[in-house]
Amino acid sequence: MGLTRRNFLKGAAAGGAVAACAAAATGPADARENKTLPPKATGLLYDSTLCIGCKACVVACREANDTQPEFNTADKLWDTPLDLSGDTLNVIKVYSDGTAEYKDQEKDGFAFIKKSCMHCVDPSCVSVCPVSAMRKDTETGIVRNDPSACIGCRYCVAACPFGVPRFQFDRAFPRIRKCEQCSERQAQGKIPACAEVCPTGATLFGPVGALRDEAERRRALTAGQVTTFSRKTVGSDDVHEKPVAAYVPHTYGMTEMGGTQMLMLAGVPFDKLGYPALRQRSYAAESETLQGTVYKGMLAPAVLLGGLLYVAHKNTDNDHEED
Amino acid sequence: MSKHAPLGGSVASTTTIIAAALAAIMVVVVGYRFVFGLGAVTHLSNGYPWGIWIAYDVVIGTAFACGGYAMALVVYILNKGQYHPLVRPALLASMFGYTLGGVSVIFDIGRYWNAWHLLTPGFANPTSVMLEVALCIMAYVVVMWIEFTPVFAEKWASADTKRKLNKVLFVFIALGVLLPTMHQSSLGSMLVAFGFWIHPLWQTDLLPLLYLISALAMGYSIVIFEATLVTAAYRRPSEARLLGSLSKYILWLLVAFLVIRWGDIIAEGKLRLAFSSRGLSWMLLLETALFLLPVALLGSAERRASGRCLFIAAVSMLLGGALYRIDGYLVAYVRPGWHYFPSLGELLTTVGVVALEVLAYIVFVKRLPVLHSVASPKDNLRAPDVAATTSK
């Protein structure tokens, strides 16, 4: 087909029509707001100032989830997980500064910190999973990975702002592993293993609302004041008395990424404990808003396709007869 | 009668033998990966769960394979018929680039036996950008093989079949423009969910637009790159005039890209970061330099007429687009305390995939009517009016 003025104008007009269709379909879309806490959300309150670093919770987690020990000493006789992994769903770490003399003090002090799934109110892992293997329970809000659905793409591993889901790179038939708040134990009326074995109540299980209130209560007390702390479940009769430590003025998990069902109190700033400052708007909400704006529920691609079909049909009509 | 003809000649050459050997090595490495797991072959970790098999084989590989998309847009949508000789070879390279990018995903995903879930509505998660990318890429691979059927038909089918095929082909041409528009932009959107793990210089809500524009520019560049190599390798007459006029699309796309990229950095108040982020500042400047070189080279009609300048501009654009993607997916993906550099096994696999593409391309152009037959007087007549009509 020779290039004549008529053909050129035809082509230009067609291109313009396609562009106009695409522009018409992509107006502003409603922003996807952060999701809200499910009605029966359960969670954990970890109080770093109560933790004595015994790691009973790490061992209990192994038993509850049937995970393999990790050996990191030369004699291979000591289960020493260094971080979360495809086998370790809960780990206790320690912060140390200078002489490390004082517990829960930033300077010349030390503090323990728990690392396990935060069970975000608006989780990135759930938003990005292509095959709905990562799901958030609509009642309890517990985030679980279903291996029978999972394709092992590791988008959740890469996207989690807390670096929680872990993939088993060392296996031919790997899985994604993370804390699932002992859902199976809960189904039998039990509480998560880490909370059950904690001797000081540093890890406390309960409804998220009650855990938030308890965190508020503790932070409202003055340092040194003696108070009672429950063990196992928030508000339980299994209590002990202890002077309150000096808390940093923030409950981690109240606002971060739209809130999490695991809450934390500490005497040392959270960014020193491996929990960075995070904004309130979840990345899931931002990503879904963007995709919603571009696609408008597939309306925009449908309109664009209509324009393309029209123009392609027109332009190939004589082209191919000549070919 | 078709204006296309097979090149003919023996398939065996130094290039094809080396390519076959590299592809064979890849098969061994990948076999090892399936028996012993991803960790046995790759340097992937829970801090860097994605490596070059995603960043290169899929994200860059499919952008390099945008030649078919870019040419379809110009020839069939903007109706610039003069570029028709470039469509088939571009489509062929795209077809292999995308097909093997898709195959690489199977090497990479950990639970590959569940891969069919991607195609099963019951598992679909509509909020996942990856699902959209995966479905679009799979659909586009099918569309490209259908778009390519006239080539098989010319060799094997009857005239009647060909006529019927041509009647419906426009549907696949339209899809062949729509689908890459969707997934090439979404390859940028995929990073938005990573939030603060991506350095602010690479994290923006304009990612889909930036990825789409650069993918198109890479598409035109790869057409110039491949046409130049084919011309040199098989001693065919130079297509510099046609390519020179095509290169104007790269110029304008690149100008748009740079204005949006830097405009966004300035508007978001990130300009200071552009110069205070140590290694990452250098990466940004290197990317920008690689994009500016083609702008400078293609800015003058004189240099656009030079095959050498076109080739250098195309290579620079391809490197810039590749670096932009490597940076977005790996270098600017900053996980404190974690490190990633591809293992030998990962590199050999990626090299093997590219080698397989080259091998398949050579076999196809030698055996099937892909390239325009040079003897046709029509082509010689066509070349001059290109410059006249496109410089509006």
Structure tokens at B346: 């990962």
Give the sign of the dihedral formed by CA B19, CA B22, CA B23, CA B24: positive
Distance from CA of A227 to the nearest CA of B (A): 38
Structure tokens at B299: 């800015």
**Chain A residue with the nearest C-alpha to that of B1:** A323
> Under an 8 A CB cutoff, do B50 and A154 touch?
yes
pLDDT band for position A14 (cuts 50, 70, 90): low
* Whether the predicted pLDDT of B313 surpasses 80: yes
**Residue B223 domain-assigned?**
yes
Chain A residues touching B173 at Cβ < 8 A: 308, 312, 316
Report the residue from B81, B109, B127 with minimal CB separation from A3: B81
CA B69/CA B132 separation, integer angstroms: 18
* Whether the predicted pLDDT of B379 surpasses 50: no
pLDDT in tens, A237-268: 999 999 999 999 999 999 999 999 999 999 99
Chain A residues touching B185 at Cβ < 8 A: 294
Structure-derived torsion over alpha carbons of residues B363, B367, B371, B374, reported in degrees to the nearest 10: 130
Report the residue from B2, B35, B178 with minimal CB separation from A323: B2
Count of A-B CB contacts under 8 Å: 210
Q: Which of B35, B116, B125 to mutate to test the interface with A (most CBs of A within 10 A)?
A: B125
Residue B2: its pLDDT value, please? 55
> Under an 8 A CB cutoff, do A152 and B109 touch?
yes
Q: Whole-angstrom distance between the N-terminal and C-terminal Cα of chain B?
A: 32
Structure tokens at A199: 């001797």
Residue A177: its pLDDT value, please? 98
Contacts of A43 (CB under 8 A, 6+ apart): A119, A141, A181, A205, A206, A207, A208, A211, A260, A261, A262, A263
If we measure between CA atoms, which residue out of A66, A46, A266, A83 comes closest to residue A162?
A: A83
> Under an 8 A CB cutoff, do A170 and B173 touch?
no
Residue B239: its pLDDT value, please? 86
pLDDT band for position A13 (cuts 50, 70, 90): low
Are A89 and A179 contacting, i.e. CB atoms less than 8 angstroms apart? yes
Report the residue from B115, B118, B194 with minimal CB separation from A158: B194
B309-329: average pLDDT: 97
**Residue B191 domain-assigned?**
no
CA B50/CA A191 separation, integer angstroms: 35
Q: Which of A38-42, A120-124, B365-369 has the lowest mean pLDDT?
A: B365-369
Quote the domain boundaries for residue B268: 199-334
Distance from CA of B130 to the nearest CA of A (A): 6
Predicted ipTM of the assembly? 0.91
Question: At residue A65, what are phi and psi to the nearest 5 degrees?
Answer: -105, 0
- HEC secondary structure over A87-153: CCCCEEEEEECCCCCEECCCCCEEEEEEECCCCECCCHHHHHCCCCCEEECCCCCCEEECCCCCCCC
Are A284 and A124 contacting, i.e. CB atoms less than 8 angstroms apart? yes
Structure tokens at A274: 């491996």
* Whether the predicted pLDDT of A319 surpasses 60: no
Q: What are all long-range contacts of B228-231, with beta carbons under 8 Å and residues at least 24 apart?
A: B228/B307, B228/B310, B228/B311, B228/B314, B230/B89, B230/B365, B230/B371
If we measure between CA atoms, which residue out of A64, A58, A48 comes closest to residue A201?
A: A48
**Residue B8 domain-assigned?**
no
pLDDT band for position A15 (cuts 50, 70, 90): low
CA A199/CA A182 separation, integer angstroms: 18
Q: How many domains does chain B divide into? A: 1
Q: Which of B36, B50, B128 to mutate to test the interface with A (most CBs of A within 10 A)?
A: B128
Structure tokens at A238: 């299994």
Structure tokens at B103: 């195959």
Residue A12: its pLDDT value, please? 54
Residue ranges of E strands in chain A: 42-47, 91-96, 102-103, 109-115, 134-136, 143-145, 166-167, 176-177, 203-207, 226-230, 239-243, 262-265
Residue B151: its pLDDT value, please? 84
Question: At residue A82, what are phi and psi to the nearest 5 degrees?
Answer: -95, -20
Residue A321: its pLDDT value, please? 43
Kindly report the number of other CB atoms within 10 A of residue A310's CB atom: 16
Chain B residues touching A151 at Cβ < 8 A: 109-112, 114-115, 117-118
Q: Does B79 touch chain A (CB under 8 A)?
A: yes
If we measure between CA atoms, which residue out of B49, B139, B140 comes closest to residue B329?
A: B49
The residues with which A145 forms a beta bridge, in sequence order, are A134
On the CB side of A257, CA atoms within 13 Å amount to 27
**Chain A residue with the nearest C-alpha to that of B112:** A151
CA A263/CA A44 separation, integer angstroms: 6
CA B18/CA B61 separation, integer angstroms: 20
Which residues 308-367 on chain B approach chain A with CB closer than 8 angstroms? Answer: 333, 335
pLDDT in tens, B190-213: 999 999 999 999 999 999 999 999
Are A60 and A196 contacting, i.e. CB atoms less than 8 angstroms apart? yes
If we measure between CA atoms, which residue out of B121, B21, B167, B141 comes closest to residue B69?
A: B141
Amino acid at A266: A
CA B314/CA B217 separation, integer angstroms: 9
**Residue B169 domain-assigned?**
no
CA B229/CA B361 separation, integer angstroms: 12
Are B217 and B317 contacting, i.e. CB atoms less than 8 angstroms apart? yes
Helix (H) or strand (E) segment spanning residue A156: helix A155-159
Amino acid at B226: E
Q: Tell me the pLDDT of chain A averaged across its residues.
A: 91
How open is the CA angle A240-A244-A247, to the nearest 5 degrees? 135
Kindly report the number of other CB atoms within 10 A of residue B31's CB atom: 11
> Under an 8 A CB cutoff, do B189 and A166 touch?
no
Distance from CA of B142 to the nearest CA of A (A): 17
pTM to 2 decimals?
0.91
* Whether the predicted pLDDT of A217 surpasses 70: yes
Q: Does A269 touch chain B (CB under 8 A)?
A: no
**Chain B residue with the nearest C-alpha to that of A169:** B39
**What CATH class is the domain A42-284?**
alpha beta
Amino acid at A186: Q
pLDDT in tens, A111-166: 999 999 999 999 999 999 999 999 999 999 999 999 999 999 999 999 999 999 99
* Whether the predicted pLDDT of A29 surpasses 70: no
If we measure between CA atoms, which residue out of A249, A248, A254 comes closest to residue A268?
A: A248
CA A275/CA A253 separation, integer angstroms: 10
Q: Tell me the pLDDT of chain B averaged across its residues.
A: 91
Chain B residues touching A173 at Cβ < 8 A: 111
Report the residue from A131, A174, A291 with minimal CB separation from B117: A131
**Residue B205 domain-assigned?**
yes
The residues with which A44 forms a beta bridge, in sequence order, are A205, A262
CA B226/CA B86 separation, integer angstroms: 10
Structure tokens at B318: 């391809």
CA A62/CA B329 separation, integer angstroms: 34
**Residue B293 domain-assigned?**
yes
* Whether the predicted pLDDT of B268 surpasses 60: yes
Structure tokens at A262: 């695991």
Structure tokens at B122: 């019951």
Residue with tokens 């104008």: A9
pLDDT band for position A88 (cuts 50, 70, 90): very high
CA B109/CA A110 separation, integer angstroms: 40
**Residue B261 domain-assigned?**
yes
